[in-house]
């Protein structure tokens, strides 16, 4: 490169790299939407990171970030290339080939991540190539005025401004092209599910003192590995039931809806829920019982598990016994009286009472393979979680919360307790280390839901603490031993500290 080719304002070169990089991300985002590709390269890289992160690190992220873990990860994955774009742009002032090589390297990373996605095919790689060509082309366009002698600074600034505006416009318009999520949301809104009724809270279940016994759909927790939830067209969705069966089933949504349906209140909770945590919710689920579908397929002798697969490739291995006994394990099509939201598995997901979601709750389910537990190794098992995930006996104080200030006199302490498929016989509360006192329980329809509880205690002004434990219907007393969520769920008594004034 000649001396004249290296002239121009120093700030303009890194700015050109950043604008070119942002333009490439915008056009690849546009192409992904136009081609109906779920995993935009940035999303594909984020999901690749999630899939290959050790379980204890994933758990740490969930513990500290909760529902914000995926946005934070995507933000980091966008921020890192932004820094690289700036550095590559600056390097191009002296070596023209460095930015090109850097853009190619980033495209390779994106391409490998897209290739690791399920069912994206060649369209995902097209989006990667569109981004790469934009990076190289726009960077050349923006730096071309800087290579003159003397450099045309005003012309360079004008191009930077125009390209920046164009990139923002392309990125903003991208969600409105193609079908993608918008079309699926429209199809979901038009879907009419006969036999699905609105939820009616059983009399006496909600004591009206803490959080609602029935969790609103908008407040229901969401923990999964998908950064961009699959948007599946209900008209083309199918689920395959195969493996160790006499008759393989390949069902469309209409096929599924033609079968007898069931409805039930079921509490679901995540294995990542810490003591006193909120990764739990109770909803009115409607769907088709899995035991009836498995009976229709005819399970062969020797099978003891079902490997479930989601449209995004996530898997879980579920004990066959949990799908064939008397519990309301189902392929759910509705939640709280309406079609499933996309983020919660539309058009069909699996709901299994009594098991943590990592071994049972497959959203966007498309494949059920009847097999053995040795073969049904789900996504989380190699990352350090146990193969079976029965829900542990647990309880929580919702009122008062730690740090609350309550008026002197008789104070109400209230919360929830649960052990789905076993049930709760009693809840006991200890205040300031005193004797355990039995709380009043709400009435629940069966043992597949949590139960609310309350107790009124006289308290003088000052600092107080309360802790809670549950007793199951089998007589088991909730353990005080504090354990982390890995490998099979947290244990220990929940405690709150509060003030009375």
Residue 176 CB neighbour total at 10 angstroms: 10
Average pLDDT, stretch 24-48? 79
Choose the most confident range, by mean pLDDT, from 16-25, 218-227, 244-253: 244-253
Give the Cα separation of 499 and 403 in Å (integer): 7
Nearest to 465, CA basis, from 438, 497, 494: 497
Predicted local distance difference test score (pLDDT) of residue 2: 40
Average pLDDT, stretch 332-346? 96
Give the Cα separation of 485 and 385 in Å (integer): 9
* Cβ atoms of residues 385 and 487 within 8 Å: yes
Extract the tokens encoding 250.
């390949």
Helices 41-51/12-34 angle, 10° precision: 90
> Does residue 292 carry a pLDDT above 60?
yes
Nearest to 111, CA basis, from 84, 90, 130, 92: 130
Task: Read off the pLDDT of residues 228-280 as tens digits, 9 standing for 90 and up.
Answer: 788 899 999 999 999 999 999 999 999 999 999 999 999 999 999 999 999 99
Mean of per-residue pLDDT scores for the chain: 89
Predicted local distance difference test score (pLDDT) of residue 116: 77
Average pLDDT, stretch 37-41? 73
What secondary structure letter does DSSP report for 342?
Answer: G
Predicted local distance difference test score (pLDDT) of residue 464: 96
Predicted local distance difference test score (pLDDT) of residue 12: 84
Average pLDDT, stretch 163-190? 80
Reading across the β-sheet that carries 424-431, which strands appear in turn? 405-406, 494-500, 462-472, 424-431, 437-438
Task: Read off the pLDDT of residues 88-118 as tens digits, 9 standing for 90 and up.
Answer: 988 888 888 899 898 899 889 888 888 877 6
Extract the tokens encoding 322.
């949990």
Q: What phi and psi values does residue 143 have, to the nearest 5 degrees?
A: -95, -10
Predicted local distance difference test score (pLDDT) of residue 281: 97
> Does residue 55 carry a pLDDT above 50?
yes
* Cβ atoms of residues 275 and 494 within 8 Å: yes
Average pLDDT, stretch 217-230? 86
Token pair 């000052």 in the structure block, residue: 462
Q: Domains in the chain and their CATH numbers?
A: 4-178 (no CATH), 217-383 (3.90.420.10), 394-500 (2.60.40.650)
Token pair 């088991």 in the structure block, residue: 476
Task: Read off the pLDDT of residues 423-470 as tens digits, 9 standing for 90 and up.
Answer: 999 999 999 999 999 999 999 999 999 999 999 999 999 999 999 999
pTM of the model: 0.77
What's the burial of 302, exposed, middle or buried (CB within 10 Å: 0-12/13-18/19+)?
exposed
Give the Cα separation of 406 and 498 in Å (integer): 8
Predicted local distance difference test score (pLDDT) of residue 10: 78
Reading across the β-sheet that carries 315-319, which strands appear in turn? 249-252, 238-243, 365-371, 305-310, 315-319
> Does residue 165 carry a pLDDT above 70?
yes
Give the Cα separation of 285 and 291 in Å (integer): 16
Choose the most confident range, by mean pLDDT, from 152-156, 189-193, 290-294: 290-294
């Amino acid at each position: 490169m000649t001396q004249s080719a290296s002239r121009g304002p120093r700030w303009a070169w890194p700015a050109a790299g950043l604008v070119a990089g942002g333009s490439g991300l915008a056009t690849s985002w546009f192409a992904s939407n136009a081609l109906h590709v779920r995993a935009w390269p940035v999303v594909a890289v984020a999901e690749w990171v999630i899939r290959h992160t050790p379980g204890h690190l994933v758990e740490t992220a969930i513990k500290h970030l909760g529902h914000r873990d995926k946005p934070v990860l995507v933000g980091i994955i966008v921020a890192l290339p932004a820094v690289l774009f700036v550095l590559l742009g600056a390097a191009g002032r002296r070596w023209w080939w460095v930015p090109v090589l850097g853009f190619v390297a980033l495209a390779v990373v994106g391409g490998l991540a897209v290739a690791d996605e399920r069912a994206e095919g060649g369209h995902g790689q097209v989006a990667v190539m569109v981004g790469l060509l934009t990076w190289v082309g726009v960077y050349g366009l923006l730096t071309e005025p800087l290579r003159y002698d003397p450099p045309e600074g005003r012309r360079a600034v004008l191009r930077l401004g125009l390209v920046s505006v164009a990139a923002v416009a392309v990125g903003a318009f991208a969600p409105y092209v193609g079908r993608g999520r918008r079309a699926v949301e429209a199809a979901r809104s038009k879907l009419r599910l006969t036999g699905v009724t609105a939820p009616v809270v059983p009399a006496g279940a909600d004591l009206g003192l803490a959080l609602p016994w029935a969790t609103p759909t908008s407040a229901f927790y969401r923990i999964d590995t998908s950064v961009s939830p699959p948007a599946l067209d209900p008209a083309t969705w199918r689920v395959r039931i195969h493996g160790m069966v006499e008759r393989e089933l390949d069902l469309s949504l209409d096929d599924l809806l033609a079968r007898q349906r069931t409805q039930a209140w079921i509490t679901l909770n995540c294995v990542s829920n810490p003591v006193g945590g909120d990764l739990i919710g109770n909803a009115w689920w409607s769907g088709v019982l899995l035991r009836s579908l498995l009976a229709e397929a005819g399970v062969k002798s020797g099978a003891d598990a079902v490997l479930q697969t989601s449209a995004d490739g996530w898997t879980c291995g579920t004990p066959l016994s949990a799908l064939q006994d008397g519990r309301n394990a189902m392929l759910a099509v509705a939640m709280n009286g309406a079609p499933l939201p996309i983020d919660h598995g539309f058009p069909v997901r699996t709901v299994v009472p009594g098991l943590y979601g990592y071994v049972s709750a497959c959203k966007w389910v498309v494949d059920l393979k009847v097999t053995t537990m040795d073969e049904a190794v789900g996504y989380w098992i190699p990352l350090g979680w146990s193969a079976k995930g029965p829900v542990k006996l647990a309880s929580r104080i919702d009122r008062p919360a730690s740090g609350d200030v309550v008026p002197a006199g008789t104070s109400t302490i209230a919360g929830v307790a649960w052990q789905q498929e076993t049930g709760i016989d009693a809840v006991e509360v200890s205040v300031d280390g005193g004797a355990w006192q039995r709380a009043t329980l709400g009435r629940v329809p069966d043992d597949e839901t949590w139960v609310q509880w309350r107790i009124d205690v006289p308290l003088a002004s000052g600092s107080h603490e309360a802790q809670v434990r549950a007793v199951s219907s089998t007589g088991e007393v909730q353990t005080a031993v504090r354990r982390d969520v890995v490998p099979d769920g947290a244990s220990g008594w929940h405690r709150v500290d509060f003030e009375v004034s």
